[in-house]
């Protein structure tokens, strides 16, 4: 077998494919590098504007001083304990109108969003009564709204409680939660028959917007102009509509589902990062870097099918194709992906795919005219390359059918090889060289003309 010309030909072609893995790996590194530049743009926008936002509130916080009596050494000793008591809304309704704005740094794009929020909350007056006793002193209560990044706080409307306005001050005034807003309210207000509040807030951020469902019954409705939302989070929206012009979504939850009331005990600090949320992310659609990276994974399939076609021509016609010619055609197929990456940054992935396919197919068509001794078969190979490019593009677009389409391509290719080589004597071919001696009665052009 080691003396067989066919064996060494196949091994040489496999060696060529292994060599082509080197530029393909370099191309993968380049894709990762360009993608990281895009991620740096998103990080820069976050640093210069504000980051993801989580809205926690409104809730009522009351500083409490509790006196307890303990006996030590047969003496009564008064001890003082200070903590914050939290009151969560009975009903919470948040309505948001989001506008997403693209921002460019060089050729890279990121997004920031601005959301006008309207918050309505009502509190159970029975919950707010009877807190002050002989051994308990209540401080000045305040309404709290915490956010993820206070740099994103824009215009803040007046806090309206039971028809009366109260000034809002910066900072959440809660231990462990610094960023946000608060408004001091009279202690007597908690003894009123009802307590309903409303205020508006203009909030800016990047990537995620989340609302903590603090109320016993909580609702969040959001309308946005961004057509690529990502709703993966603690709760999926009960209703959502996504179109090319944007999306609308609404969430609903209760304490029966989220147990949020257990996170606000008297002595416990609030860890807002661990609370369940209604969340939506301004997600980028599958961009050119992800698509190009996926396309490169099919490069070996494209190169292998092309090499197999050349090998069939050699086998069926006796036409000689040098390994260097195989390698040059393989490099041109690798160049297809580099052209795709470079051009897609400027004109988009689909247009870049079409342009790269036409350019690389044209180069190969011109080169193969000399290799295959004629325009007819050269154009056939060019059409085949364009067809393969079209099939690969369809594979990238049809995520759910990728396995089915890929299997179909391989099945058709294998069937074609088996059909065209069913009468070949592989043992006899292995005993002779792929080159021709001077005594060979047929020249390469004569063999190729007979095959055509």
Q: Please give the residue that has the higher pLDDT: either 35 or 204.
A: 204
Q: Please give the residue that has the higher pLDDT: either 203 or 316.
A: 203
Q: State whether 91 and 152 are in the same domain.
A: yes
Average pLDDT estimate for 36-55: 86
Q: State whether 83 and 13 are in the same domain.
A: no
Average pLDDT estimate for 19-47: 87
Task: State how far the Cα of 65 lies from the Cα of 104, in Å rounded to an integer.
Answer: 53
pLDDT score at 60: 92
Helices 323-347 and 299-317: angle between axes, nearest 10 degrees: 150
Confidence of residue 165 (pLDDT cuts 50, 70, 90): very high
* 223 falls within a domain: yes
Task: State how far the Cα of 131 lies from the Cα of 416, in Å rounded to an integer.
Answer: 85
Number of domains in the chain: 2
* 219 falls within a domain: yes
Q: How far is CA 220 from each of CA 95, 118, 211, 230, 240, rounded to the nearest angstrom?
A: 6, 10, 8, 16, 12
Q: State whether 323 and 250 are in the same domain.
A: no
Of 242, 258, 284, which residue is a domain's last?
284
Q: State whether 145 and 217 are in the same domain.
A: yes
> What CATH number is given to the structural domain containing 105?
2.60.40
* 140 falls within a domain: yes
Closest CA relative to residue 203, chosen from 92, 95, 90, 93: 95
Q: What pTM was estimated for this model as a whole?
A: 0.75
The fraction of the chain above a pLDDT of 70, given in percent, is: 88
Of 284, 309, 338, which residue is a domain's last?
284
Residue pLDDT, tens place only, 252-311: 999 999 988 888 876 566 777 788 999 999 877 767 888 888 888 888 888 888 888 878
- Tell me: pLDDT of 100 over 90: yes
* 25 falls within a domain: yes
* 43 falls within a domain: no
Q: State whether 350 and 373 are in the same domain.
A: yes
What b-and-e string marks burial along 45-68, b requiring 16 or more CB atoms within 10 Å of the CB?
bbeebbbbbbbbbbbbbbebeeee
Average pLDDT estimate for 171-200: 87
Average pLDDT estimate for 360-378: 83
Closest CA relative to residue 172, chosen from 212, 133, 134: 212
Provide the 8-state DSSP code for 73.
T
The distance of Cα 380 from the centroid of its chain, to the nearest Å, equals: 40
- Tell me: pLDDT of 440 over 90: no
Task: State how far the Cα of 449 lies from the Cα of 452, in Å rounded to an integer.
Answer: 5
Residue pLDDT, tens place only, 235-257: 999 999 999 899 999 999 999 99
Residues ≥6 apart with Cβ < 8 Å to 400:
none
pLDDT score at 372: 76
pLDDT score at 429: 61
Q: State whether 192 and 65 are in the same domain.
A: yes
Provide the 8-state DSSP code for 272.
G
Q: State whether 32 and 180 are in the same domain.
A: no
Q: Which residue has the tokens 């047969």?
A: 74
* 44 falls within a domain: no
Task: State how far the Cα of 332 lies from the Cα of 147, in Å rounded to an integer.
Answer: 53
* 351 falls within a domain: yes
Task: State how far the Cα of 225 lies from the Cα of 245, in Å rounded to an integer.
Answer: 6
Closest CA relative to residue 317, chosen from 329, 309, 327, 325: 309
Confidence of residue 49 (pLDDT cuts 50, 70, 90): confident
Q: State whether 271 and 411 are in the same domain.
A: no
Torsion sign over Cα 391, 396, 398, 399:
positive
Average per-residue pLDDT for the chain: 83
Q: Which residue has the tokens 């990502």?
A: 230
Q: State whether 333 and 413 are in the same domain.
A: yes
pLDDT score at 444: 43
- Tell me: pLDDT of 134 over 60: no
Closest CA relative to residue 177, chosen from 260, 266, 54, 46: 54
pLDDT score at 437: 42
Q: State whether 121 and 188 are in the same domain.
A: yes
pLDDT score at 151: 93
- Tell me: pLDDT of 20 over 60: yes
Residue 195 belongs to domain spanning: 52-284
Closest CA relative to residue 52, chosen from 250, 210, 227, 223: 210
Q: State whether 179 and 325 are in the same domain.
A: no
Q: State whether 336 and 296 are in the same domain.
A: yes
* 424 falls within a domain: yes
Q: Please give the residue that has the higher pLDDT: either 372 or 360.
A: 360
Of 284, 316, 344, which residue is a domain's last?
284
């Amino acid at each position: 077998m080691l003396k067989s010309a066919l064996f060494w030909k196949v091994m040489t072609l496999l060696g060529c494919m292994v060599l082509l893995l080197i530029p393909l790996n370099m191309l993968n590194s380049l894709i990762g590098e360009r993608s990281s530049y895009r991620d740096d743009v998103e990080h820069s926008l976050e640093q210069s504007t504000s980051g993801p936002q989580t809205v926690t509130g409104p809730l009522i916080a009351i500083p409490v001083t509790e006196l307890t009596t303990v006996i030590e050494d047969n003496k009564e000793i008064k001890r003082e304990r200070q903590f914050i008591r939290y009151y969560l809304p009975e009903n919470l309704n948040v309505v948001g109108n989001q506008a997403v704005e693209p921002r460019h740094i060089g050729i890279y794009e990121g997004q920031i969003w601005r959301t006008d929020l309207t918050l309505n909350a009502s509190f159970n007056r029975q919950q707010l009564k009877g807190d002050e006793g002989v051994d308990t002193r209540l401080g000045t209560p305040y309404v709290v709204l915490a956010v993820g990044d206070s740099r994103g706080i824009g215009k803040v409307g007046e806090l309206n409680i039971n028809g009366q306005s109260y000034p809002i001050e910066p900072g959440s005034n809660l231990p462990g939660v610094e960023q946000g807003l608060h408004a001091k309210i009279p202690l007597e207000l908690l003894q009123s028959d009802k307590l309903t509040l409303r205020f508006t807030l203009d909030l800016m951020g990047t990537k995620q917007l989340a609302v903590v469902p603090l109320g016993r019954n909580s609702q969040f409705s959001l309308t946005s102009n961004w057509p690529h939302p990502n709703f993966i989070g603690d709760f999926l929206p009960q209703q959502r509509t996504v179109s090319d012009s944007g999306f609308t979504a609404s969430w609903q939850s209760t304490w029966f589902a989220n147990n949020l009331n257990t996170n606000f005990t008297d002595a416990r600090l609030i860890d807002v990062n661990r609370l369940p949320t209604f969340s939506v992310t301004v997600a980028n659609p599958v961009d050119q870097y992800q698509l190009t990276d996926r396309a490169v994974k099919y490069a070996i399939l494209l190169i292998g099918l092309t090499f197999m076609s050349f090998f069939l021509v050699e086998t069926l016609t006796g036409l000689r194709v040098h390994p260097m010619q195989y390698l040059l055609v393989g490099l041109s197929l690798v160049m297809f992906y580099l052209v795709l990456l470079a051009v897609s940054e400027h004109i988009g992935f689909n247009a870049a795919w079409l342009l790269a396919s036409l350019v690389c197919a044209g180069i190969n068509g011109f080169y193969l005219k000399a290799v295959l001794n004629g325009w007819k078969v050269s154009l056939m190979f060019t059409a085949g390359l364009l067809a393969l490019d079209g099939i690969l593009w369809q594979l990238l677009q049809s995520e759910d059918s990728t396995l089915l389409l890929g299997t179909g391509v391989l099945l058709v290719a294998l069937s074609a090889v088996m059909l065209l080589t069913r009468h070949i004597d592989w043992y006899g071919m292995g005993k002779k060289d792929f080159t021709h001696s001077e005594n060979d009665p047929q020249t390469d052009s004569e063999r190729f003309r007979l095959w055509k």
